[in-house]
Amino acid sequence: MDNYKSTYERWLNSSVIDENTRNELMSIKNDEKKIEECFYKELEFGTAGMRGILGAGTNRMNIYNVRRATMGIAKRVCDLGDDAKKSGVLIGYDTRNFSRVFAEETAKVLAAHEIKAYLFDTAHSVPEVSFGIRTLKCALGVVITASHNPKEYNGYKVYGSDGGQLPPQAADVVINAINKCDVFDDVNFISLEEAMSKGLVEIVGPELNRKFLDVIKTQQINPDVIKEVSDTFKLIYTPFHGTGSRPVKAILKEIGFKNVLVVKEQDTEDGDFPTVKSPNPEDKEGFEIAIKMAKENDVDIIIGTDPDCDRVGIVVRDANGEYQTLTGNQTGALLCEYILSQKKKNNTLSDDSVIIKTIVTTELAAEIAKAYNVEIMNVLTGFKYIGEKMTEFVKTNSHTYVLGFEESYGYLIGTHARDKDGVVATMMIAEMAAYYKTKNMSLYEALLDVYERYGYFYEKTVSVVMPGKDGMEKMAELMKNLRVAPMSKICGMDIVKTTDYNSQIISYADGKKEELKGLPKSDVIKFNLSDEKSQLIIRPSGTEPKIKLYLSSSQESFDKAENFVLDMLTDVKSQLKI
């Protein structure tokens, strides 16, 4: 019998599983492909935690895999000693289906190991959890979330005592402990009632919420511009059925915005996300209701946050009065220019100021930073690497952190957290839009000004979905082939430099090679073209069944940059046969 079949039978016949799980397993007993998908592997727990489709099986998100994962967390905390057990673990969760259930299961396992668990009273955003870990001085933190994924998904993210996602060494301890733990036989937990009676679970919320908002407000640069335009400035906000509703509406009101319209249809905590195909602020489709409202109410800007409120998307009005979505790169570039220009104007820009971005994020940020004599640092994809740099700065006292951002719509202004923060980003974007309004400019016009000053950059990210076991094999084969027989040209232009972040080797067209320094290994390959303005980066997603292509170019005009990137995409997809 195939291994996945025997594993299926074990689950089906286990005395541990609940009746609903058993019924779900029974419903697929004649579906060979479904059984294989659910059981052909264990849901992977990587350095960023785990994420998967909800359902029964080793390769699905369910209470059994959550308990097993928490056994690894318990091992990590116990290894740190009694003080860490007393410091405890803060558990947050978003509005997704089963998020509260998974959070409680996490608390129950921790309590069985006499580890204090702080459990939020309601759904909370990722930045609030990151901030709360630091404020409560917890040993670790857990967030139940699948970020911007469709309703079928949920996930489990783990944070260190600094409020950032676990670094590789600590994550390895957790992963090794999980791998040694049988999903049924080795898991210990007690009831939530018993845990609370023993003082091992404490409910938190309102006091932390207040502290969080107070810290966010300290990041304002020009609070007076809001007062100046508050009577006429109009903003629409949508939380996409997520955790941003409470903190974002509160912060916008407290800093003085009077005309904040909320998309009521999307201001409900609903894990089915009924108004969108996917609750992703990267997708214009999700903003359809908001754009209709904006046209009816003559609105200046639309802002949306994803379910765990760590990503932000915006829609602005162009010169023709039409509402256009901005990319994460464009919003990041606007934030770079606004924050650096205003800090310089206010004499609050330190000589050791630094902006951190990921390797797949726009090089336009580097041009802006250079204009203000500010250092720009590149890190691997994933906000945890930005968080690691922030923690490093505290230890070395070597830099003043200004802004960290990534092309996937994540930004952090301030050092109150170590993960991207949709609350502070929304506040700063709104302030920025108000500032430009005092100059009789829209954010769209401000973006055109940035292009005019620093160059016309166009970036495009394409995700090629490769689901299931076959998809994982295809992704591995594609990356292998790129290393064995790399591309030599794109759009007829020579590839003059290839950087393999996994082998840590930089290869040049003339045969010269050198070692890549300063970044850890990662399954990423970058190709630079001979025009020295264009590049392609390819990487498999660490959390989803897809391979990602990041294409970018800088040209004499925006249209030329866009057209060249689209031509690149066509050629690359043809060469890779995807």
The residues annotated with a catalytic role in the active site are: 147
E strands along 251-374, which residues? 260-262, 301-305, 312-317, 323-325, 353-358
Q: Name the CA dihedral angle for 191, 192, 198, 203, rounded to a multiple of 10 degrees.
A: 170
Backbone phi and psi for residue 375, each to the nearest 5 degrees, phi listed first: -70, 140
Q: Could you give the CA distance from residue 338 to residue 319 in angstroms, rounded to a whole number?
A: 20
Q: Could you give the CA distance from residue 94 to residue 103 in angstroms, rounded to a whole number?
A: 10
Three-state secondary structure call for residue 438: helix
Q: Could you give the CA distance from residue 542 to residue 537 in angstroms, rounded to a whole number?
A: 15
Q: Could you give the CA distance from residue 406 to residue 412 in angstroms, rounded to a whole number?
A: 10
Residue 378, both tokens: 């590149």
User: Secondary structure of the chain: what % helix, strand, coil (to 5)?
Assistant: 45, 20, 35
Residue 561, both tokens: 């940059």
H or E segment and range at residue 571: helix 558-576
Q: Are 75 and 109 in contact (CB under 8 A)?
A: no
In the numeric block, the tokens 């990602």 are attached to: 548
Cα 486 from chain centroid (whole Å): 30
Q: Which residues of 276-303 are buried (b: 16+ CB within 10 A; e: fewer)?
A: bebbbbbbeebbebbbebbeeeebbbbb
Burial class of residue 468, CB neighbours in 10 A (0-12, 13-18, 19+): middle
The number of CA neighbours under 13 Å toward the Cβ of 63 is: 17
Q: Using only C-alpha atoms, what is the Rg of the chain?
A: 24
Residue (of 54, 56, 74, 44) closest to 16 by Cα position: 56
Q: What is the DSSP string of 484-499?
A: HS---EETTEEEEEEE
Residue (of 117, 106, 83, 130) closest to 410 by Cα position: 130
Residue 380, both tokens: 């691997």
Q: Judging by DSSP bridges, how do beta strands 375-379 and 353-358 pair with one another?
A: parallel
